[in-house]
Structure 1
């Protein structure tokens, strides 16, 4: 795919730049036990989405305060679970050679994002978290904000994602989307290292 018109890259964090899938799933498994939820149903909607969105889907009986408390508990379970959080294959090589401006746009809050990126040894020049926006993925707000902070039109941004909600957000923002893990994007990749020759400038 020709990416010569791309002027900036907007990366999702979990599962895209940072391999944290095991930590994410451990936290949701513990949360599901505490909140009487089916873990398979939880994991079917949780990946890539803000915790609050998942809580609302799984526990529609909770009021706004209950959702906020349940989402906060889920994040709390993740903050210190960093023992096996590492960069994804190809991530460090891609970032080391990337000459385009880039940002991380994540459904995590800033504490968790900085903890995970730090554990993976990644220093994001621009970071957009769930606290910076009013609507999380699949809403495009996060990616639109990331593009704005980089000063690049969304249509000239490449969004790199591993979850359907993130791909939907990138597409709604008007960006080109590269997708991992068999998710259907404009470009399908096995790992982010495949982008190195495509983004060489």
Structure 2
């Protein structure tokens, strides 16, 4: 059992709180087919990466990506019936002291809020979404913005992540990173990890939050 004292908790959403693999695959599979790209190649890239970054990756830096961005936004707002909670996530987040946590996601804001509410997560007080940053994960900007919104130093935060891009973003920001799930990349070497959120508990602590990993 490991206990970490932190000022704030920064939570990725897809793959950390919500299993949205089926939804993401449907949305971006449709994009790939309609735009003429290889579906497997697009799906291998998209998880944990902001929509605009993925669109630029495949359509080109100089392309007008906004029509596709609006289409992706529409699809994401409509197609989340297949989402399910990562085991233990709802109960874990409900236990975090108020004002001490933020969701930091590469998803679009409206879709993220609707999906979290549908699965029973508490009202999100601080959300850093794809629209809120200029540079998405693996850049540290999203996690730095999350810490700033909580009025704490990012170095005093614990990040929960399941993707390589997200892990690298958290590390680059200077946070303590906990890997959720089976991700194994060079960036995860030596990091604390849990199989899912049933192995995580939160309680008020001396610095704000006591995070216990079992």
Task: Provide TM-score, normalisation by structure 2.
Answer: 0.85
Deviations 1:22-78 (CA, angstroms, capped at 9, x unpaired): 111110111111001111111111001101111222233x6342x222232222222
- Correspondence for 2:72: 74
TM, length-normalised to structure 1: 0.90
Q: What does residue 35 of structure 1 align with?
A: 35
1:50-199 to 2 correspondences below 5 Å:
50-60=50-60, 63-65=62-64, 67-99=65-97, 101-122=100-121, 123-184=123-184, 185=188, 186-196=191-201, 199=211
Segment drifting more, 178-187 vs 28-37: 178-187
- Distance across 2 between alignment mates of 1:29 and 1:151: 39
SS, match of residue 112 in structure 1 = helix
- Give per-residue Cα distances to partners, 1:139-176, cap 9 Å, x unaligned: 11111011011111111111111111111111111001
Q: What is the rounded CA distance, in whole Å, between the counterparts of 2:195 and 2:181 in structure 1? A: 7
Higher strand share: 2
Aligned to 1:24: 24
Query: Does the aligned pair in 2 maintain the 1:94–1:196 contact within 8 Å?
Result: yes
SS in 2 for 1:199: strand
Q: Secondary structure at the match of 1:5?
A: strand
Task: State whether residues 85 and 119 of structure 1, in contact with CA within 8 Å, keep that contact through their aligned partners in structure 2.
Answer: no
The separation in 2 between residues aligned to 1:77 and 1:4, in whole angstroms, is: 39
**Unpaired stretches in structure 2, ≥5 consecutive residues:** 203-209
Q: How many residues align?
A: 198
Query: Does residue 5 of the first structure (1) align with residue 10 of the second (2)?
Result: no
Secondary structure of the corresponding residue to residue 79 of structure 1: helix
